[in-house]
Amino acid sequence: MRTLYSLLAEAQAAFPDRPAVVDPGGPPVSYRELDRLAEQASTHLERIGLKPGHRVGIMAHKSVHTVGAIFGILRAGGAYVPVDPTAPLARIAYIFGDCAVSAIVTEQRFVEPLQAAFPDAHLRVLAPLDGGLVLIDGPAGVQAPASENSLAYILYTSGSTGKPKGVMISHNVALSFVDWGSEVFQPEPADIFSNHSPFHFDLSIFDLYVSIKHGASVVLIGDELGKQPIGLVDLIAHHRITIWYSTPSILRLLLEFGKMERFPYPALRKVLFAGEVFPVKHLRELKRIWPTQRFFNLYGPTETNVCTYLEIPPAIPEEQTEPFPIGAACSHCQTAVMDSDGKPVPPGGEGELWVAGGPVMLGYWNLPEQNQRAFYWDPEGTKWYRTGDVVVEEGGIYLFRGRRDRMVKRRSYRVELGEIESALYKHPRVSEAAVIATPDEESGVLITAFLTCNGDGRPSLIELKRFSAENLPKYMIPDRFSIQPQLPKTSTDKIDYQRLKQLV
């Protein structure tokens, strides 16, 4: 069976001495050495009795040794479950307990906190690994029931119930995406990929596995450097990154605070972004600094990774203010726009985007009722995933209208909060905009706009109200405006709307 580990095995055989992974500040690790690290981890896991389908947690900061451990878990037939090591311990403990990990790869400093989080499990250090990592028991031990052998990893995302939910991805599903990325972006062994996203975020799948498949190099960007715009700009220039992939929020940080004009970027070929809408005014400015690079908007929830994409045209007209579409369906999947009754919506009409085919997850871990709601099997037996995203299809191109769960009713009108954000981004002094709705006894719903502003000064409340009135229908004008020094972000560099609700 073809697996994600087989990508490393084949690259190691073809390019043993090429640099595979680069950790800034340290020497590059060759494909031969990376495979040795994978073999070390795999041997220890097999020695403790790990069986195919068992889950192995990863609670460690980004490093070449963490990458080696990931491939070691895959080599042993296990599925890895990465978590944000800076997250609250209660969240980490919930994730590892929920999916019954058999073992955990972690740093020595995290051993005692993990032992305290599972006092009844008596977690032991089983083996040291290179780079300061250790292998310890998981709360379930190796007696945990195995999932299906094809499981490759589980990524936990925020759930509507307040508890994280695990998105199960098989080797075939992940490889479908990797092969699509190879087909579209045509990587070469000489390419140098960035890896800005953390390993518990689905953007990292492209960085790690597409680069490894082609014998290219990937430069790891840790948590601390990942938030430093000047440091990131230096890294892109000095490491001669050829393929960059991140959220638009990070690219906006580079624009505003990275002093990008200091360097030429002759090596950079492709700039990929995903995870949130990229305001056109920021995208236009970035293309001014990187005029020869090709830009791609990738779209898809964690449950499908990428299912549509669009190459941004070379020139963006000055008068354009609306965000670009999310593009056409990728070649490895099927897409459809459906109404609330599960019937196809004619072209030009709004509906929910459904996805079927190669990139669709196996399901949510241990959540049978949510799986029933998330999937639809048509009469031909095709399994469709309901994304919850509202789109319009025109000529095979999808326009993103917003999330179903970010649409509210106000004065009998349907209001898409993302549409208010897009309007506020048109203001010349607004750098970031995030809009939330909260219940209100008098009006039913209260709309608050949180903004950050550029160096030209803060607009007054009167100015913001007037600007909103010129760009939005009356029923969509925010009730409140709150200007912040910065907007809170999640560990995956998206705006943290839950934390904003606490500020109302």
Which stretches within 55-140 are classed as H helix? Answer: 64-75, 89-98, 111-117
Q: How many domains does the chain have?
A: 4
Looking at the structure, do residues 395 and 422 belong to the same domain, yes or no? no
Residue 269 lies in a domain: yes
Looking at the structure, do residues 186 and 111 belong to the same domain, yes or no? no
CATH code, domain with 441: 3.30.300.30
**The pLDDT value given to residue 144:** 85
For residue 433, give both structure tokens: 């905009």
Quick one: average pLDDT of 133-151? 91
Quick one: average pLDDT of 410-429? 83
Q: Give the CB-side neighbour count of residue 435, counting CA atoms within 13 A.
A: 25
**The pLDDT value given to residue 245:** 98
Which pLDDT tens digit goes with each residue over 207-251? 999 999 999 999 999 999 999 999 999 999 999 999 999 999 999
User: What is d(CA 504, CA 502) in angstroms, rounded to the nearest whole number?
Assistant: 6
Which pLDDT tens digit goes with each residue over 239-273? 999 999 999 999 999 999 999 999 999 999 999 99
Higher pLDDT, 475 or 317: 317
The domain boundary, picked from 281, 314, 347, lies at: 314
Residue 164 lies in a domain: no
Pairing type for strands 192-195 and 430-440 reads unpaired
Checking if the pLDDT of 143 tops 70, the result is: yes
Percent of the chain with pLDDT over 90: 81
Looking at the structure, do residues 187 and 259 belong to the same domain, yes or no? yes
Residue 9 lies in a domain: no
For residue 402, give both structure tokens: 């917003």
Looking at the structure, do residues 273 and 199 belong to the same domain, yes or no? yes
Quick one: average pLDDT of 343-366? 96
What is the pTM (predicted TM-score) of this model?
A: 0.89
Checking if the pLDDT of 162 tops 80, the result is: no
User: What is d(CA 18, CA 276) in angstroms, rounded to the nearest whole number?
Assistant: 34
Looking at the structure, do residues 308 and 346 belong to the same domain, yes or no? no
Checking if the pLDDT of 401 tops 90, the result is: no
Checking if the pLDDT of 405 tops 80, the result is: no
Percent of the chain with pLDDT over 70: 98
Higher pLDDT, 412 or 434: 434
Nearest by Cα to 403 from 303, 318, 277, 498:
277
410 within 8 A of 444, measured Cβ to Cβ:
yes
Nearest by Cα to 279 from 323, 327, 310:
323
DSSP state letter for 208: I
Checking if the pLDDT of 180 tops 70, the result is: yes
> What b/e string do you get for 382-413 counting C-beta neighbours within 10 Å, with b at 16 or more?
eebbbbebbbbbeeebbbbbbeeebbbebeee
**The pLDDT value given to residue 473:** 81
User: What is d(CA 71, CA 74) in angstroms, rounded to the nearest whole number?
Assistant: 5
User: 3-state SS of the chain: helix, strand, coil percent to 5?
Assistant: 35, 30, 40
Residue 15 three-state SS: coil
Residue 325 lies in a domain: no
Looking at the structure, do residues 387 and 417 belong to the same domain, yes or no? no
Which pLDDT tens digit goes with each residue over 58-67? 999 999 999 9
Checking if the pLDDT of 337 tops 90, the result is: yes
The secondary structure of 328-396 as a DSSP string is: EEPTTEEEEEE-TTS-BPPTTSEEEEEEEETT--SEETT-HHHHHHHEEE-TT--EEEEEEEEEEEETT
Residue 306 lies in a domain: yes
**The pLDDT value given to residue 413:** 67
Higher pLDDT, 37 or 476: 37
Which pLDDT tens digit goes with each residue over 296-329? 999 999 999 999 999 999 999 999 988 999 999 9
CATH code, domain with 353: 2.30.38.10
Checking if the pLDDT of 399 tops 60, the result is: yes
**The pLDDT value given to residue 439:** 82
Quick one: average pLDDT of 7-25? 96
DSSP state letter for 130: G
Which of the residue ranges 187-201, 238-252, 319-333, 417-431 would you say has the lowest mean pLDDT?
417-431
Is residue 369 very low, low, confident or very high in pLDDT (cuts 50, 70, 90)?
very high
Q: Which domain holds residue 418?
A: 411-501
Looking at the structure, do residues 417 and 388 belong to the same domain, yes or no? no
Looking at the structure, do residues 303 and 178 belong to the same domain, yes or no? yes
Q: CB within 8 A of 161, min separation 6: which ones?
A: none
Looking at the structure, do residues 141 and 208 belong to the same domain, yes or no? no
Looking at the structure, do residues 415 and 485 belong to the same domain, yes or no? yes
The domain boundary, picked from 351, 374, 401, lies at: 401
Looking at the structure, do residues 31 and 118 belong to the same domain, yes or no? yes
Looking at the structure, do residues 298 and 415 belong to the same domain, yes or no? no
CATH code, domain with 37: 3.40.50.980
**The pLDDT value given to residue 411:** 63
Checking if the pLDDT of 118 tops 90, the result is: yes
Residue 326 lies in a domain: no
**The pLDDT value given to residue 38:** 98
Checking if the pLDDT of 160 tops 60, the result is: no
CB atoms inside a 10 Å sphere around CB 377: 10
Residue 320 lies in a domain: no
- What value does the mean pLDDT of the chain take? 93
**The pLDDT value given to residue 173:** 97
The domain boundary, picked from 381, 401, 421, lies at: 401
Residue 406 lies in a domain: no
Which of the residue ranges 95-99, 386-390, 407-411, 496-500 would you say has the lowest mean pLDDT?
407-411
**The pLDDT value given to residue 438:** 86
Checking if the pLDDT of 412 tops 60, the result is: no
